[in-house]
Amino acid sequence: MRPARWQCLALRPACEGRGGAVPAGNRKAPNALRAANEFRDSTFVPVPPASWAPRGPPSDRRAVTPTDRRAFRAARRRRGSQTGQSLTEFALVVPILLVLFVAIADFGRIFAAAIDLEAATRDAAEATANEYLSNPPGPLDAPATAPQPYYDALHDLGASVVCAEMRGLPNTNYDSGTNTCPGIPYVIVCVHDGNDPGCGSPAQAGHGGIPSNCGDFTPAANSSQDGTLNRWVEVRTCYQFTAILNNMPLFPFNEIWLQRTRNFTIPCYFVLGTAECG
């Protein structure tokens, strides 16, 4: 009896010995046992990879060798060392970045304080000039002969304008009851009409003296008209700016003294339309 085709697959030598080769027409039939790279019928039975095999209980799994344990521990040590190195680098860089950010913020605060000081100084000179014009020390076409209290009132007016406009800045010693600044900012007001005797003194009482950091206050303003017929008001201000990182190491500055000087001409020609400053 001739063996069946499926028996020839398992017993191919027997089939060949008996002349029972598999017909050529059946070679194209699908064969579940044929490998992907097989083009002819054979007795090869593909063996699935180990990963396809169902996992059994833990006791049947492959045991972890000491070599595997050493490799795992070495990899874990490498990951730990990389993490520690990253944390160290971060800890070294963060303080430098914080100092840079705070320094940038301080430069912005310095710029804002300088703008406020500039505006306050100019406004004080303008307000004092307008007060002088509205209440002159005598005929504007004659030399000024007013006493010291007259000029002291003008000095107080100019200093009060500076204090009022800078009261929101740090270090400003502002007294809301009297609208004065017994301390910072320092203000000097001088009326250049040839008669103001208080140009070299602080504009308001309470100052212990002008610090040496206010270099623009020396030499002090004088009341001369520089050989002209013009009259004008000069206001000098000095403000101490304290940085956020005050007294911190490796910081280039901690205190900066900002100074401004502004002049405002007294428009004497507006009085009666024809008067000139004498």
Domain ranges (residues) in the chain: 93-273
Supply the pLDDT for residue 238: 92
* CA 67/CA 55 separation, integer angstroms: 23
CA distance 213 to 256: 9
238 contacts 207 by C-beta, under 8 angstroms: no
At 272 the pLDDT is: 47
pTM for the full predicted model:
0.64
Q: Rounded to an integer, what distance in angstroms lies between the CA atom of residue 80 and that of residue 77?
A: 5
Of 130, 161, 148, nearest in space to 265 by CA: 130
**In terms of residues, how long is the chain?**
278
Q: What integer pLDDT is reported at residue 87 of this predicted model? A: 75
Measured from the Cβ of residue 13, the count of other Cβ atoms closer than 10 Å reads 9
**Residuewise pLDDT in 10s, the chain (278 residues):** 555 554 554 455 555 555 545 455 455 555 545 555 555 555 555 555 555 555 555 555 555 566 666 665 666 666 656 666 677 777 888 888 887 888 788 888 889 999 999 999 999 999 999 999 889 888 877 888 899 999 999 999 999 999 999 998 988 888 888 888 888 899 999 999 889 988 888 877 655 678 888 888 877 788 888 877 788 999 999 999 988 777 666 666 668 899 999 999 987 655 544 555 55
Cα separation of the two ends of the chain: 149
If residue 237 lies in a helix (H) or strand (E), which one and from where to where? strand 232-242
For residue 93, the model assigns a pLDDT of: 82
Rounded to whole angstroms, the Cα distance separating 95 from 267 reads: 56
The pair of structure tokens assigned to 270 is 């507006």
